[in-house]
Amino acid sequence: MRTLFKTVLLIVSLSLLWAIFIVFGTLSGWWHKPITDSNNPDDFITEAKKEIDKSFVGSFAMALVEDGVVYDEYLFSLDNSVNRNTAFQAASLSKWVTAWGVMSLVDNGKLNLDEPISKYLTRWQLPKGEFNNNEVTVRLLLSHTAGLTDGLGYAGFSPETPIQSLEESLTRASDASPGANGEVKVGIKPGSEWIYSGGGYTLLQLLVEEVSETSFQDYMNETIFKPLGMINSTFVWDDTLNSNLAIFYTQDASIAKHYRYTSLAATSLYTSLNDMELFVKAHFEGVHKEVKGRGVLGVNTLNEMIKPHAYQMGAAIWGLGTMLYADNNQNGYVIGHDGKNEPAINTAVRLNPATGNGIIILEMGNPLLATEIGGEWIFWKTGNIDSLSFIMLIEPIKIWVGIGWLVILSFVIALKMLKKKTNTDVKYK
């Protein structure tokens, strides 16, 4: 029995060490090769184009920002219609821009980050449950730590289908993505853990409307887009706008429907490459005479947004409306946001506030290409694996851990059998 216990203990110990080795090595980028060994941005763009050529993409726009200024752009579309002012639907990248709108209300003294949101709402309230709704604050909603368990994900409404009202969507979103409950409610204790919640940002959309006493679209246009010069950005598409809309593509190169949303704040931003360049540069301070916040948000407010407010497995992953992708090796984080929605919308923005470097990618026709290139940019710049790249590596990690466990089990069993045979041979000599 003692021998069996020792054997099991050995197998478990070696298996645990192997799993730790694989996870730590993946996080440390031990077996990840940078997209280019050169520090020259031209070489990064060249290699990124090769990745684009390997994958189908229908509409694509990319900009590389170096030292606070746009270094170069790359534009592509099957119909040659995309330019730097072409509007793309940005999916969940919308949440980052929405956070600017919310924080402008905080800056102007109209919202308190740590007051219950119920204090500001009259049109709709969180349904009663086993947890205290008064613990749900603006800060927790922005950082996805408010305890909401909606799982949203919005699939949107096709052109022939009327969209829900904001209150109807909050009660139960009829356009919830597959697997999402769609009911915005407090399902776990607020502040206890990070759970991504599209419904939380739809609730913030209502909050903006109630506090500003105007529509969400009008507030964001007057408070964020116009002051930053984002003339091709909107949350509600209007075919009379000056900018052209990028054609929507599926993964098989067919043209897809243009879906519309009640959940403007969470997923309905339309923006262009030029406008996102202006938005990104508003995060930099003192670079080429740019002023951080550009008068829309205060410097202290922007600094608060990029501080850690949510963690997973001990790692900081979220600020207030912005993702914290990876350590920037300068006592801070590479920040930004991604967007992904059906049929094949993918957007990604990564920026390092400490250096003025960043990358912007807007694309349709591939569900992961923008996120993958964004992750490659972070590894190229910092040598660190970003959080979304790590998530995409979870399946390969499981495979390698499983292979290692099988090898360890086989090795220990073979070792014990050899030892037993050796002892038997010695006994009968």
Predicted confidence (pLDDT) per residue in 273-300, tens digit: 999 999 999 998 765 556 777 889 999 9
298 cis-preceded (ω within 30 degrees of 0): no
- One-letter amino acid of 82: V
103 Cβ partners below 8 Å, 6+ apart? Answer: 297, 301, 305, 320, 321
The predicted structure's pLDDT at residue 399: 85
In angstroms, rounded to a whole number, what is the distance separating the alpha carbons of residues 414 and 154? 53
The predicted structure's pLDDT at residue 425: 56
Tell me which residues of the chain have a pLDDT lower than 50. none
The predicted structure's pLDDT at residue 23: 77
DSSP, collapsed to helix, strand or coil, labels residue 170 as helix
H or E element at residue 16:
helix 2-27
In angstroms, rounded to a whole number, what is the distance separating the alpha carbons of residues 150 and 242? 36
Q: With the C-alpha atoms ordered 367, 368, 369, 371, is the resulting torsion angle positive or negative?
A: positive
Contact 387, 397 (CB under 8 A): no
- HSE of 404, CA atoms in CB hemisphere, 13 A: 18
Contact 261, 267 (CB under 8 A): yes
- One-letter amino acid of 133: N
Q: What is the dihedral of CA 85, 89, 90, 92, to 10 degrees?
A: 160
The predicted structure's pLDDT at residue 115: 96
Q: In what order do the strands lie in the sheet with 323-327?
A: 69-77, 59-66, 357-364, 345-352, 333-341, 323-327, 315-318, 310-312
In angstroms, rounded to a whole number, what is the distance separating the alpha carbons of residues 121 and 170? 13
- Full-model pTM: 0.90
- HSE of 209, CA atoms in CB hemisphere, 13 A: 18
Q: With the C-alpha atoms ordered 202, 280, 367, 398, is the resulting torsion angle positive or negative?
A: negative
Give the tokens for residue 98.
């929405």
For helices 41-54 and 369-382, what crossing angle results, to 10°?
150
The predicted structure's pLDDT at residue 401: 79
Dihedral pair phi/psi, residue 86, rounded to 5°: -70, 135
The number of beta carbons lying within 10 Å of the beta carbon of residue 412 is: 16
